[in-house]
Amino acid sequence: MPRPALVPGLCVLAAGGCLAAGLLSGPDLLALLRRVLPVLGFLAAATVLAEVADRAQVFDAAARTAVRLARGRTALLFAGVVVLATACTVLLSLDTTAVLLTPAVLALAAEAGLAAWPLALTVVWLAGTASLLLPVSNLTNLLAADRLGLAAGAYARGFALPAVVAVVVTMAVVVGLHGRALRGRCAQPAALAVRDPVLLRTAGACCLALVPLVLLGLPPYAAAALVAVVALGVALARRAVPVRDVAGLLPAALAVSVLGLFVVVDALGPLLLDRVLGGASGSATSAAVAGALLANGVDNLPAYLALERVVPREHLPGLLLGVDLGPLVTPWGSLATLLWAQRCRARGLDVSWGRFAASGLLLVPLLLLATVPLLGR
C-alpha cells in the first residue's frame, strides 16, 4: 500500500521527468498553472481553516453536541455522526472529515462504550459520498465545475438530488451491515472542557461561513482565504497558534502532489492516456463506471484528470459521480481513505482492508445505480 509521505516525492520526480523530456510546452504549462493555482489556493486556505478549527476544539465540541442530543440512545448518536460527517465534508472537504473528525468520533465511541468500526466506516464512507454536493467539498468538484462553467449555486442545484440519495444509500448500507451494533443504549461521556470559548465560537462561525460566501459568488479560493485569515488571526491573537507554527499549517506536501499530478496527466495524455481511456466516453453510465474503476486503481484525482480529457462535456457529471462515490473499495482509491486509516490506527482501531473492500464492493454499485439516473433531473 502506498504511504502518503512518499506521494509528493514520486509526483515531483514524475512531473520533473515529463518537463525535462519536453512533453509539455511553455504555453501549455502556463495554461495548466492558470487552472491549478486557484485550486491549490483553495486547498491551502481550507486546510489552514480546518487546522485552526481543530485546535479550537470545533470537531470535539460538535461530537459532544451529538452525544448530548442523543440522550443515551445509540440510534440517535449514529444519526448525529451521520449529520456531523456530512456537514464536515460539505463545508470543509472529505480530507478534513477523514483527518480531523475521525479522532473525535472514535474518542466518542470509546467513552460511550460503542463498537468503533461501524462509526469509523460511517465517517470514511460519508467523506466520499457527501463530497458530491458542493464544489468546495472535493477538489475533483472544483475541477469539474470549472470545466463545465458552473457557478457554485448552479453546481449545487445540479448535484443536490444525487448527493442526497448517495448519503441516504450510504446510511442504509451501514444500518444493513451493522444494525445490531447501532441499537440500544450508550453511556454519556463527560462534558468537553473548552480551553478557549471565544476561539471555539470564532472558528466555528468561520467554518459555517465558507459555503454561504461561495454560494454568494465569491471564488472558492477567495472565500476560503477570507475565513482562514479571520480564524488564524484570532488564534494568533489568543496564542492558540504560535507564530512559528503558521507555516506548518499549510498542506505543502499535498499541494506539491496535486501540481505534479496535473503536470504528469497533461504531459502523458496526448501520448498514451487519451488512446487507452477513450472508450470511457460512450455515456454518463460508462463514464461513471470508468471513473469508479480507475479511481480505485490509481486514486480519484488522477483518475478524474485522465478521464476528463476524453469524456465529452455532457458526460462529465457521470464521471464526477464515479470518482467521488466510487473509490471506496481500495485503500489508495482516495487519499482521504489512507489518512482515515492512519487516524484509526492512532486510536487503536485496526483497519482490515479485506473487510473494507468487501463492504465497499456492496456499497459502490448501489450508489452508482441509484445516482446516475438522477443526473439532469
Pick the more confident residue, 192 or 367: 367
**What is the phi-psi region of residue 243: left when phi exceeds 0, alpha when psi lies from -120 to 50, beta otherwise?**
alpha
Q: Confidence class of residue 212 from pLDDT cuts 50, 70 and 90?
A: very high
The mean pLDDT of 331-356, rounded to a whole number, is: 92
Q: With contact defined as beta carbons under 8 Å apart, do 313 and 148 qualify? A: yes
pLDDT reading at 70 higher than 90: no
SS3 63: helix
The mean pLDDT of 116-128, rounded to a whole number, is: 96
Q: What's residue 280's pLDDT?
A: 66
Q: Which amino acid is at 233?
A: G
SS3 242: coil
pLDDT reading at 6 higher than 60: no
Tell me the C-alpha distance between 225 and 214, whole Å. Answer: 11
pLDDT reading at 8 higher than 70: no
Q: What's residue 1's pLDDT?
A: 46
Least confident of 128-142, 214-228, 245-259: 245-259
Tell me the C-alpha distance between 119 and 102, whole Å. Answer: 9
**Nearest CA among 278, 267, 41, 8 for reference residue 139:** 41
The mean pLDDT of 101-128, rounded to a whole number, is: 93
Tell me the C-alpha distance between 152 and 265, whole Å. Answer: 26
Phi, psi at 356, each rounded to 5°: -60, -45
What Cα–Cα distance (Å) separates residue 289 from each residue in 188, 263, 296, 365, 373?
A: 43, 25, 11, 9, 13
Q: With contact defined as beta carbons under 8 Å apart, do 362 and 173 qualify? A: yes
**Nearest CA among 149, 151, 127, 297 for reference residue 220:** 151
Running DSSP on this structure, what letter comes out for residue 131? G
The mean pLDDT of 120-132, rounded to a whole number, is: 96
Q: With contact defined as beta carbons under 8 Å apart, do 107 and 347 qualify? A: yes
Q: With contact defined as beta carbons under 8 Å apart, do 58 and 203 qualify? A: yes
Pick the more confident residue, 131 or 16: 131
Q: Which amino acid is at 130?
A: A
- pLDDT tens for each residue of 296-343: 988 898 889 888 888 889 999 999 999 999 999 999 899 899 889 999
**Nearest CA among 136, 147, 95 for reference residue 310:** 147
Q: Beta-carbon neighbour count of residue 377 at 10 Å? A: 7
64 Cβ partners below 8 Å, 6+ apart? Answer: 108, 189, 191, 192
**Exposed, middle or buried by CB within 10 Å (0-12, 13-18, 19+), for 207?**
buried
Tell me the C-alpha distance between 339 and 331, whole Å. Answer: 10
Q: How many domains does the structure of the chain reveal?
A: 1
pLDDT reading at 166 higher than 60: yes
Q: Confidence class of residue 279 from pLDDT cuts 50, 70 and 90?
A: low
Tell me the C-alpha distance between 71 and 39, whole Å. Answer: 41
Q: Confidence class of residue 199 from pLDDT cuts 50, 70 and 90?
A: very high
The mean pLDDT of 229-234, rounded to a whole number, is: 97
Tell me the C-alpha distance between 137 and 152, whole Å. Answer: 11
Q: With contact defined as beta carbons under 8 Å apart, do 128 and 371 qualify? A: no
The rounded mean pLDDT for the chain is 90
Q: With contact defined as beta carbons under 8 Å apart, do 112 and 81 qualify? A: no
Q: What's residue 9's pLDDT?
A: 67
Q: Which amino acid is at 99?
A: V
pLDDT reading at 5 higher than 80: no
Q: What percent of the chain has pLDDT over 70?
A: 95
Tell me the C-alpha distance between 377 and 303, whole Å. Answer: 26
pTM reported for the whole predicted model: 0.90
- pLDDT tens for each residue of 21-37: 888 888 888 988 998 89
Q: Confidence class of residue 2 from pLDDT cuts 50, 70 and 90?
A: very low
- pLDDT tens for each residue of 75-96: 999 999 999 999 999 999 999 9
Q: With contact defined as beta carbons under 8 Å apart, do 257 and 265 qualify? A: no
Tell me the C-alpha distance between 88 and 97, whole Å. Answer: 6
Least confident of 2-11, 245-254, 273-282: 2-11
Query: At how many degrees (to 10) do helices 197-215 and 74-92 cross?
Result: 60
Q: What's residue 202's pLDDT?
A: 97
Which H or E run contains 36?
Answer: helix 26-55
Q: Find the domain containing 308 and state its range.
A: 4-374
Q: What's residue 176's pLDDT?
A: 96
